[in-house]
Amino acid sequence: MDRVDATEHFAQHAQGDLPSLLVLIIDINPIPWTTNPLSTALPFNTALSNLLLFLNAHLAFSHTNKVAVIAAAAPRGGGAKILYPAAELPTDTKGRPQSRPPQPAPQPGEPNKYRPFKDLEEGVLAGLGKVLASVNEEDDGTDRTVVSETRIAGALTLALAYINRLAGAGADNLGQTLTKGTGTTEAGTMQSRILVVSVAGDVASEYVPVMNCVFAAQKKHIPIDVCKVAGNSVFLQQAADATGGVYMKLDAPNGFLQYLMMAYLPDPAARQHLVLPTQANVDFRAACFCHKKVVDVGYVCSICLSIFCTVPPDNICMTCQTKLAHTVGGMVVRKKKKKKAGTATGSGAGTPTVGTPRP
Amino acid sequence: MADSDDEYIGSSGDERGKRASNSRKQKGAGDAGKERWEEIQRSWDNVVEGADGSISAAVVGLLEQNKRKRLLKDTTPLQRGIIRHLVLVLDLSIAMEEKDFRPTRFLLQLSHACDFIKEYFEQNPISQLCVIGMCDGLAKRISDMSGNPVEHISAIRKLRANGVEPKGSPSLQNALDMARGCLWNSPTHGTKEVLIVFGALHTCDPGDIHMTIKAMVQDKIEVRIVGLAAQVAVCSELVKKTNSGSLAGYGVAMDEKHFRDLLMANTTPPPTRQANTNASTLLTMGFPSRFSNPGHPTLCACHSNPITSGYMCPRCMARVCALPTSCPACSLTLILSTHLARSYHHLFPLANWVEVARHDVKKRSPKLCFSCERPFPKLAALPPSSTVAATGDLATKRTSNAPVPGVKAVPSISSTGRYACLDCGKWFCVDCDIFCHEEVYNCPGCEADPEGKEKRQREKEALAAKETAQTGQSSAAQGDAMEIDG
Amino acid sequence: MSGSLQSFEQLEALPPATFKKLYQEPCTTLALFRRMLPNLAKSIVMAMLYQDDPVPMSFINAWVKPTSRREKEMALGKLRRLCITSEKNQKLTLDATFKASFREALTGGSRSFGTPCTTEDKHPVTVEYLDNYATAQWEAILHYMVGTESERKPSEGVMRLLVAGGLMEKRSRRAEITQAGFSFLLQDANTQVWTLLLQYLSMAASLRMDHVEILHFFMLLGSLDLGQAYSKAGLTPTQLNMLEDLRDYGIVYQRKSSSDRYYPTRLATTLTSESAALRTVQQGFDAAMSQSGQGFIVVETNYRLYAYTSSPLQISLLAFFARLSQRYPNLVTGKISRQSIRQAIRMGITASQIIDYLTVNAHPQLRKNTPVLPPTVVDQIRLWQIEGERMKATPGSLIRDFSTERDYRETLNYAEELGVLLWRNDQKRWFFVSRHEQIADFIAQRARAQAAKAQGRA
């Protein structure tokens, strides 16, 4: 739209900073945290206090910034649990939210803290305490052996659902950078991102749910940042790459706080101006379903899309149990057909052609 | 024609034309003597006053119902054609100048076609598309069969930019013949589909269209049509013959939103019909790895453009710039595993969640949605089920008159605002329901609490075993996972 | 919204010693960090916060994308002016006091965030009461300025402040509103509060109150909790004096001047939030303020105006620039016309202020549009304004008298990169820039480099 020119009597007022939501997913799988080398380089307590400081820093940026914390690999449940914000107490009969529990009044002269920071820290620690205490709950017969891989799909799904609730359904991160400074801050203008602090590898059976989450995040332009303190995860690499997030494998875990402050703190608006660490080569190759080894050239069943490294025995697909047509060197033999008009293109190729067909 | 009414009543073998009989068949549960145009639907009947005299409760109910309407798709895992070859036929005839869809049918068709192409490639990354137009009695090729959405969208935009205006009559036969030609070379393991947007009420063909239809059936091409004006007999015959007797592929749009819904319903892969079982083959595909040499550009093999980063074909080491594509040197299909992963949610769909009935909400039931922790509305604040059921029925009637393929009619909406997953037993709110079914395709309860899900499974099995022991009959047999729809 | 940053820029003019004293309190550092720094500057500060060594400039240059050079220069300039960073030997160092206080703010451990009261209040005060109190006080001031009759008159101190700030002037016996006063009225609540407070700050020098302590108290108020009582222990005498004045503005509530506890009202707790952030907070406040909940103005493309309000204050504000025709119990309708806008401009209101006011108070139904107000109306208001003026003055500096073409070209390119170049004349080798400090630095630097080279050669 052509605006009338040359009538700015006041200096261009800076665009109000948009509120930003950070969802932190902490991997609390005990095996990596309690074994060397991580337990000496970065003990869990230190890591937790660094993370709390990082969250405070995020809140310090702006009055409207928000934080949520989710724990992955929780002992009870095995998947994920929201630690902070704690579940809202339902409104009482008059519709007003119930007052928060009375807090012990601090002594005069006692050091105090900026209230939102205090609430955050207490909330996270309380939630974490509850989750860890649930280890001692009674057993009910489910198999609870702790594995050294972490299930991440549940945490990602919870994070996305929470973002969806806060940012409003149909909201889109990109949408706000296009609106000018008269931005409203009701639901629909919240910029969000997810940060995963991961210490373990992937659970292979989670491939489909994790990819579903990644595509949903990609569609809503929510970057998934990954801070790999230990372990190796291909899914998270692909997630960060597909959504435009930052992926870093920490070489020096004792510098955890500085890594967080520098690479993971800038919000999506500031990231436009900064050069961020990227991954040069993400391994997008698939793992075959039969032997779990990485394949370069594989065979794909056209019904269920499962990948095999060699032709399966008896030509029967392992997942969907359908008999597959006989393949000759990867190409399907096809009978020549009488054509209506025009040229014949002979044997059908096993691969879709891109050229111009003639009618 | 006042006495024609009497002739319609009760006589079935009527020679008034297929259209009349079709419309009567579709009346369904309507009155025996009334025509469809006599059944007036008053939209203000939907709004019912609540007990306190305000309509806010009914409005909330209507909003929720709208939200859930498109959710109730059939979610049994069907075998679907994932690798699709679709020909999109646009109508560029003079009938598209009508302004009953804003701004004109023609412009709306083009904008929806662009959205359709984007969504199609998002949902089916390894498929291909080709766009044809029916203009002035001829079939014009707008873009060629390819897997790159940008090409198609820019071709459509160019059409608009070059000032092409709708002209003349559409020719269904020519379009079908051209589509057949486009699909000639496509391999058997993929589906062959034609989607026609038809705004006119006639077609102007050079030969016998029934021969063309027979040829389409022989080639196993499925045709689906979105009509804009009214149901046309030859279209319904076309759809019926190519879809093994089912008329579900033919929809006539009632308003702009419905038009869009009909068009977008075709982005989900169609269930495989019995006739195509020989389409199961093992395809050889390559999974290239990325390379990047900043500062040392090389030429890509597909367009001869200089690139600094791209993908290397694992078989012949040729460099390509974008995926998915087929290697220009050795014709190997090159894709990323993420492209395959995009289609998994069609094969393993997320089961629908059921509404929690009023009597199941007890004191100890969860008060918060499991995934977003939003408190559920209090039961007392919600409209009583009777009001809701009434509106539900009216809406049901409305939606059943214009079936969107694949969507069941809305039975009734929940009067509790709580939706439960059958596998893990957790309760969710309506926003999470929509979000999980339309965007994420994961159940947060099943993912975040696999142990709870396991526990529930065991309980269900124990219950089923008890029932079996009691009744001696086998519990409902699980359908075969790869059910083929007829 | 445009005014708030301007009012903060006055703070930049403070001498470095004041800043050093300001940064001793963690709550002030937090408030200044939030309110005064652009986004990029905040990221830079955070990155350097936990580093002990100075950071080389080359590092910062490599970290910021080359295309965002303008934002980088702006951020670094701001940091320098606020004395948060200092540059030496091509390395950037964070000011030590700032660093220490900010770290303390993040980790806690100071007492600068207000000491809540430990004993129970005998006359407990609810949030609603505080809101009503703040509203009543604040509206009294505004009503007084507009000239409508209201039961409560603001106190003498307030009236003196308004006159001293140029918002009103004494004419004959009554005080009349000035042009600056009009612009004040059309701003949003937060900006208005800050304008008054900054005016208070400048008057404080004459009352011999310490600048730093006043600013400390402002920032402290901004970080307090609504509805919580705070004790007066720990406040300096200057700050205790201020409490009295702040009561009059409705920022703080005290039952009696002698009671030893005070309650911050919503006006106080939103002092250090950004203007955009205030929308969500403002909703609660507006509900108390003008009883109209969220925005209430609907502007149509045919220049008609509908305002769902019954507050005399808002109606008089609207009457400044629109011709009101009908009034209903909850609605006022009118038309924006050429006469009404020109009349407003004659009074000193600018088109941008009118447009900002309409946007800020736009009805939620209107907010769903993008852009919020109909562009025809917005453009026309601006056009009516520039009908009255044919010339626009831009302050700046003219740079001329270059000895060589090369000097001219290089300096010109530098100015262009910075984005301050406004006009150039290549033949005469003159150009006009809006800000000259960086150009001056650049020229001096080049002169030094050339002199060094000449010396080295000789």
Query: What is the interface size between A and B, counted as CB pairs within 8 Å?
Result: 274
Helix (H) or strand (E) holding C367: helix C364-367
Q: Are residues C155 and C265 in the same domain?
A: yes
Q: How far apart are CA A255 and CA B176, in angstroms?
A: 66
Q: Do C38 and A14 touch (CB under 8 A)?
A: yes
Mean pLDDT in residue range C308-314: 83
Is the residue at B322 inside a domain?
Answer: yes
Residue pLDDT, tens place only, C335-392: 999 999 988 888 778 888 888 888 888 888 888 777 788 889 999 999 998 887 777 7
Mean pLDDT in residue range B283-298: 83
Q: Which residues of C touch A272 (CB under 8 A)?
A: 65, 68
Q: Are residues C93 and C226 in the same domain?
A: no
**What's the pLDDT score for residue C244?**
80
Q: Are residues C144 and C257 in the same domain?
A: yes
Is the residue at C118 inside a domain?
Answer: no
**What's the pLDDT score for residue A89?**
55
Which tokens is A17 given? Answer: 């900073």
Task: Please provide residue A304's backbone torsions phi and psi, each rounded to the nearest 5 degrees.
Answer: -110, 0
Question: Residue A333 pLDDT > 70, yes or no?
Answer: no
Q: Are residues C138 and C260 in the same domain?
A: yes
- Neighbouring CB atoms inside 10 A of C189's CB total 20
Q: Are residues C187 and C134 in the same domain?
A: yes
String of b and e for C331-348 (b: at least 16 CB within 10 Å)? ebebebeeebbebbbeee
Q: How confident is the model at residue B174 (pLDDT cuts 50, 70, 90)?
A: very high
Query: Please, which residues have CB within 8 angstroms of residue C142's CB and are 6 or more apart in sequence?
Result: C185, C313
Q: How confident is the model at residue B50 (pLDDT cuts 50, 70, 90)?
A: low
pTM assigned to the model = 0.75
Q: Are residues B142 and B264 in the same domain?
A: yes
ipTM over 0.90: no
Which chains border C (3 or more CB–CB pairs < 8 Å)? Answer: A
**What's the pLDDT score for residue B149?**
87
Is the residue at C178 inside a domain?
Answer: yes
Q: How confident is the model at residue B365 (pLDDT cuts 50, 70, 90)?
A: confident
**What's the pLDDT score for residue C177?**
74
Question: Which domain does C63 fall in, by range?
Answer: 5-107
Q: What percent of chain C has pLDDT over 70?
A: 88
Please tell me what DSSP assigns to residue B284: E
Q: Are residues C264 and C156 in the same domain?
A: yes
Q: How confident is the model at residue C202 (pLDDT cuts 50, 70, 90)?
A: confident
Q: Are residues C131 and C266 in the same domain?
A: yes
Is the residue at B398 inside a domain?
Answer: yes
Question: Residue B116 pLDDT > 90, yes or no?
Answer: yes
Q: Are residues C244 and C150 in the same domain?
A: yes
Of B79, B82, B287, the CB nearest to A284: B287
Which tokens is C372 given? Answer: 């919020």
Is the residue at B64 inside a domain?
Answer: no
Domain at A20-87+115-135+149-171+190-272, CATH homologous superfamily: von Willebrand factor, type A domain (3.40.50.410)
**What's the pLDDT score for residue B479?**
39
Question: Residue A94 pLDDT > 50, yes or no?
Answer: no
Strand C421-425 relative to strand C430-433: parallel, antiparallel, unpaired? antiparallel
Q: Are residues C88 and C216 in the same domain?
A: no
Q: Are residues B250 and B113 in the same domain?
A: yes
Question: Residue A21 pLDDT > 80, yes or no?
Answer: yes
Q: How confident is the model at residue B209 (pLDDT cuts 50, 70, 90)?
A: very high
Task: Please provide residue B408's backbone torsions phi and psi, each rounded to the nearest 5 degrees.
Answer: -80, 160
Mean pLDDT in residue range A78-95: 65
Q: Are residues C296 and C238 in the same domain?
A: no
Is the residue at C283 inside a domain?
Answer: no
Whichever domain contains B136, its CATH number is 3.40.50.410
Mean pLDDT in residue range B196-210: 92
Q: Which residues of A touch C272 (CB under 8 A)?
A: 63
Q: Do C113 and A274 touch (CB under 8 A)?
A: no
Q: Are residues C153 and C244 in the same domain?
A: yes
Q: Are residues B291 and B252 in the same domain?
A: no
Most confident of A67-81, B58-72, B101-115: B101-115
Is the residue at B59 inside a domain?
Answer: no
Q: Do C372 and A112 touch (CB under 8 A)?
A: no
Residue pLDDT, tens place only, B220-264: 899 999 999 999 999 999 999 998 888 888 999 998 889 998 999
Query: Please, which residues have CB within 8 angstroms of residue B405's CB and are 6 or more apart in sequence?
Result: B224, B248, B249, B251, B262, B265
* Own/partner long-range contacts of C133-138 (Cβ < 8 Å, ≥24 apart): C133/C250, C133/C253, C133/C265, C134/C250, C134/C251, C134/C253, C134/C265, C134/C266, C134/C267, C134/C288, C135/C250, C135/C288, C135/C289, C136/C250, C137/C247, C137/C248, C137/C249, C137/C250, C138/C189, C138/C249, C138/C250, C138/C267, C138/C289
Q: Which residues of A touch B188 (CB under 8 A)?
A: 332, 334, 348
String of b and e for B391-419 (b: at least 16 CB within 10 Å)? bbebbeeebebebbbebeebebbbbbbbb
**What's the pLDDT score for residue C394?**
85
Residue pLDDT, tens place only, A209-238: 888 899 999 888 899 999 988 888 888 888
Domain boundary assignment for chain A? 20-87+115-135+149-171+190-272, 285-329
Whichever domain contains C446, its CATH number is 3.30.70.2610
Mean pLDDT in residue range A88-95: 49
Q: How confident is the model at residue B53 (pLDDT cuts 50, 70, 90)?
A: low
**What's the pLDDT score for residue B352?**
81
Q: Which residues of B touch A85 (CB under 8 A)?
A: 373
From the CB coordinates, do chains B and C have 3 or more pairs under 8 Å? Answer: no
Q: Are residues C98 and C145 in the same domain?
A: no
Q: Are residues B194 and B216 in the same domain?
A: yes
Q: What is the edge-to-edge ordering of all strands in the sheet holding B309-312?
A: B289-292, B309-312, B319-320
Is the residue at B56 inside a domain?
Answer: no
- Bond from prior residue into B103 cis (ω within 30 degrees of 0): yes
Is the residue at C30 inside a domain?
Answer: yes
Question: Which domain does B416 fall in, by range?
Answer: 354-447
Q: What percent of chain A has pLDDT over 70?
A: 67
Is the residue at B45 inside a domain?
Answer: no
Question: Residue B31 pLDDT > 60, yes or no?
Answer: no
Residue pair B164/B110 in contact (Cβ under 8 Å)? The answer is no
Q: Which of A172 and B149 is assigned the larger pLDDT?
A: B149
Q: Which of C63, C81, C113, C73 is nearest to C16 (CA)?
A: C81
Q: Which residues of A touch C8 (CB under 8 A)?
A: none
Q: Which of C428 and C205 is assigned the larger pLDDT?
A: C428
Burial of B364 (0-12, 13-18, 19+ CB in 10 A): exposed
Residue pLDDT, tens place only, A288-307: 777 777 778 888 887 777 88
Question: Residue C257 pLDDT > 90, yes or no?
Answer: no
Q: How much is the mean pLDDT over chain A?
A: 71
Q: What percent of chain B has pLDDT over 70?
A: 75
Say yes or no: A232 contacts chain B, CB-CB below 8 A. Answer: no
Question: Residue A341 pLDDT > 50, yes or no?
Answer: no
Q: Do A111 and C111 touch (CB under 8 A)?
A: yes
Question: Residue C225 pLDDT > 80, yes or no?
Answer: no
Mean pLDDT in residue range B12-23: 45
Among B346, B365, B385, the domain boundary falls at B346
Q: Do A111 and C108 touch (CB under 8 A)?
A: yes
**What's the pLDDT score for residue B76?**
67
**What's the pLDDT score for residue A266?**
87
String of b and e for A89-121 (b: at least 16 CB within 10 Å)? eeeeeeeeeeeeeeeeeeeeeeebbbbbbebbb
Which tokens is B305 given? Answer: 């453009």
Q: For chain C, what is the largest distance between any 2 Cα atoms, rounded to a whole number of angstroms?
A: 88
- Bond from prior residue into A104 cis (ω within 30 degrees of 0): no
Residue pair C277/A64 in contact (Cβ under 8 Å)? The answer is yes
Query: Please, which residues have CB within 8 angstroms of residue A107's CB and are 6 or more apart in sequence?
Result: C118
Task: Please provide residue C336's backbone torsions phi and psi, each rounded to the nearest 5 degrees.
Answer: -95, 120
Q: Do B287 and A144 touch (CB under 8 A)?
A: no
- Quote the minimal CA–CA distance from C151 to chain A in Å: 33
Report the amino acid identity of residue A206.
E
Whichever domain contains C41, its CATH number is 1.10.10
Q: How far apart are CA B326 and CA B306, in angstroms?
A: 19
Q: How far apart are CA B223 and CA C268, in angstroms?
A: 68
Q: How confident is the model at residue B383 (pLDDT cuts 50, 70, 90)?
A: low
Q: How far apart are CA B296 and CA B309, in angstroms?
A: 9
Helix (H) or strand (E) holding C175: strand C174-177
Q: Which of C294 and B390 is assigned the larger pLDDT?
A: C294
Question: Alpha carbon of A95 to those of A87, A98, B381: distances in Å?
Answer: 17, 9, 11
Which tokens is A73 given? Answer: 């690999």
Mean pLDDT in residue range C36-59: 85
Most A CBs within 10 Å: which of C44, C50, C390, as the mutation test of the A interface? C50
- Quote the minimal CA–CA distance from B285 to chain A in Å: 5
Question: Alpha carbon of C35 to those of A22, A175, A184, C272, C403: distances in Å?
Answer: 20, 24, 18, 6, 44
Q: Which of C278 and C451 is assigned the larger pLDDT?
A: C451
Question: Residue C246 pLDDT > 60, yes or no?
Answer: yes
Strand A191-198 relative to strand A20-27: parallel, antiparallel, unpaired? parallel
Q: Which residues of A touch B455 (CB under 8 A)?
A: 140, 142
Question: Residue A358 pLDDT > 60, yes or no?
Answer: no
Q: How much is the mean pLDDT over chain B?
A: 77
Residue pair A322/A306 in contact (Cβ under 8 Å)? The answer is no
Q: Which of A180, A197, A171 is nearest to A44 (CA)?
A: A197
Mean pLDDT in residue range C147-152: 67
Please state the domain count of chain B.
Answer: 3
Out of A191-195, B227-231, C82-86, which region has the weakest mean confidence (pLDDT)? C82-86
Is the residue at B101 inside a domain?
Answer: yes
Mean pLDDT in residue range B11-24: 45
Q: How far apart are CA A249 and CA A199, in angstroms?
A: 10
Is the residue at C450 inside a domain?
Answer: yes
Please state the domain count of chain C.
Answer: 4
Cα separation of the two ends of chain B = 41
Residue pair C256/C286 in contact (Cβ under 8 Å)? The answer is no
Is the residue at C223 inside a domain?
Answer: yes
Q: Do B432 and A80 touch (CB under 8 A)?
A: no
Q: How much is the mean pLDDT over chain C?
A: 80
Q: Do B190 and A285 touch (CB under 8 A)?
A: no
Q: What 3-state DSSP class applies to B428?
A: strand
Mean pLDDT in residue range A179-204: 64
Could you give the count of Cα atoms lying within 13 Å of C179 in the half-sphere of its Cβ?
Answer: 8
